[in-house]
Chains A and B, each alone.
Chain A
Amino acid sequence: MAAAIAAHESGVKDILLLERDQYLGGILNQCIHTGFGIEYFKEVLTGPEYAQRFIKEIKKIPDIEISLKSFVVDLTRDKTLTFIKPGILEKVKARVLIMATGCREKTREMIHIAGTRPSGVFSAGLAQKLINIEGLLPGKRVVIAGSGDIGLIMARRFMLEGAEVRAVIEIEKKTRGLLRNVVQCIEDFEIPMYFNHRISKINGKDRVESVTAVKVDDDLNDIPGTDVRFDCDTVLISVGLIPENELIEMAGVQIDKKTNSPVSHELNKTSIPGLFVCGNSFKVYDIVDSVSLDSEIAGRLAAEYLRKKI
């Protein structure tokens, strides 16, 4: 939305915004906690409130056509997009394209946790969606693997909803989340945090029954004899995010295999001229305010590209 509004302000007249969900705002809608907007709006907002500011702004602009429930399935080098919408398969060719596809959470498989495959293992963001959007509590006794911000925030959310968070287990020496989240989500609720530990095994037949954690040394190798067991019915994985760039990869954009972001020497630019990437799909940000500010640059770059082409 920030990129579309900025492109419009820079003179672009015909903008199509494709959103796969049934409402605008993306992940912000499930981030019901506060802490957004301090830099951009100079006030403290929740995720939905932050999104609402942009939704209100974008709806005032008739030159921006918003298409919801529109899932892009194909993208080619000449910027032709194919998307599905309930009942329709549509093709549209863009002269300039900005991708704002965000990122995905790393999964259990990516951190190699051994054990059985019972139900009750969720990524932190999925648990967030289940509680905050669907109104479902995924478990009663929770262990969190990793100390990313979403995991910390979900620790508090589970506690508030009456569940018990038994431990946050972090392989590094310190948290990877923001300190403020350690204070208000972990310390406020007296949740034990285990640093230099990793979950070595998930146990349980149909449902998670426990996890085994082990202490690691400075080279992240397991220290024998340091196993600790936590009885729990739920494991949340909060170990980081990866930019989502499947579509541009399909179009032939060069992707850095290590970070899954586009190979680029300049903010928001890719190896295909006129194809820009903004926000978390360009690089993973900590703060949404920086996403909006950098996405506005993408909008202006897109407008500049069109001007030069004419």
Chain B
Amino acid sequence: MNKKLTCIECPRGCVLSVDAENGKLVRLEGYECPKGEKYAIAEIENPTRILTSTVLTEGLFLKMIPVRTSDPIPKSDIKKAMSEIIKIRIKRSIRTGDVIIKDFLGSGADLIATRDCSV
């Protein structure tokens, strides 16, 4: 099956032409860097995204702390991830990069803070 994908790895937005058979990438054209190749494989075989959201705090200077997954997680897990994120409360001072939940949803990726905030 021939398919056109737009690479989302950088702002250039290269258009990739891919052929897939049985859920595997068999031919790829139009990519201009290794990131594009990696993206095409993932998009066909197991689409993933970095998830970004915010977490509520208690007693900190900021009401919301922005968070993200340290690595892309399967697109199919995103709903479940959001329902977990909404339950979290951060009550301690936090630094950018601090792990909030290790191995988030068993994905291998951690949920990390993306902003500093003190009490």
| Chain A contacts to B: CB under 8 angstroms | 29, 32-35, 38, 44, 46-49, 52, 55, 131-135, 160-162, 178-180, 182-184, 188, 286-287
A29 to B96, CA, bound (A): 12
Residue in B6, B9, B52, B78 whose CB lies within 8 Å of A33: B52
Nearest Cβ on chain B to A30's Cβ, whole angstroms: 9
A47 to B67, CA, bound (A): 11
Residue in B9, B68, B82 whose CB lies within 8 Å of A160: B82
Q: Decide: B7 and A180 in contact? CB cutoff 8 A.
A: yes
Nearest Cβ on chain B to A285's Cβ, whole angstroms: 11
Q: Decide: A135 and B64 in contact? CB cutoff 8 A.
A: yes
Q: Which of B1-29 contact A (CB under 8 A)?
A: 5-11, 13
Asked if B116 lies at the interface with its beta carbon under 8 angstroms from chain A, I say yes
Q: Decide: A134 and B52 in contact? CB cutoff 8 A.
A: no
What are 29 contact pairs spanning A and B, CB under 8 A? A32-B54, A32-B68, A33-B52, A34-B50, A34-B68, A38-B10, A38-B11, A46-B52, A46-B66, A48-B115, A49-B114, A52-B96, A52-B115, A55-B116, A133-B62, A133-B64, A134-B64, A135-B56, A178-B11, A178-B13, A179-B6, A179-B13, A180-B6, A180-B7, A180-B13, A183-B6, A183-B13, A184-B8, A184-B49
A35 to B52, CA, bound (A): 11
Q: Decide: A32 and B75 in contact? CB cutoff 8 A.
A: no
The chain A residue with its CB closest to the CB of B78 is A160
- Cβ contacts under 8 Å, B63 to chain A: 133-135
The chain B residue with its CB closest to the CB of A131 is B54
The chain A residue with its CB closest to the CB of B14 is A179
Known contacts A44-B50, A179-B6, A188-B49: A35-B115 contact under CB 8 Å:
no
A44 to B72, CA, bound (A): 12
Residue in B50, B51, B78, B96 whose CB lies within 8 Å of A48: B96
Most buried by A among B7, B54, B62, B82: B54
Most buried by B among A32, A182, A286, A287: A32
Known contacts A132-B66, A134-B63, A183-B8: A32-B116 contact under CB 8 Å:
no
Interface string of B69-101 (1 = CB under 8 A from A): 000000100100010000000000000100000
The chain A residue with its CB closest to the CB of B63 is A135
Nearest Cβ on chain A to B77's Cβ, whole angstroms: 13
Q: Decide: A188 and B6 in contact? CB cutoff 8 A.
A: no
A47 to B75, CA, bound (A): 22
Task: Beyond A32-B53, A32-B54, A48-B114, list 14 extra A-B contacts (CB 8 Å).
Answer: A32-B52, A32-B68, A33-B52, A44-B50, A46-B114, A52-B116, A133-B63, A160-B78, A162-B82, A178-B13, A179-B13, A180-B9, A180-B10, A183-B6
- Cβ contacts under 8 Å, A131 to chain B: 54
- Cβ contacts under 8 Å, B8 to chain A: 180, 183-184
- Cβ contacts under 8 Å, A29 to chain B: 115
- Cβ contacts under 8 Å, A46 to chain B: 52, 66, 68, 114
A70 to B17, CA, bound (A): 52
Nearest Cβ on chain B to A236's Cβ, whole angstroms: 18
A178 to B63, CA, bound (A): 30
- Cβ contacts under 8 Å, A180 to chain B: 6-11, 13
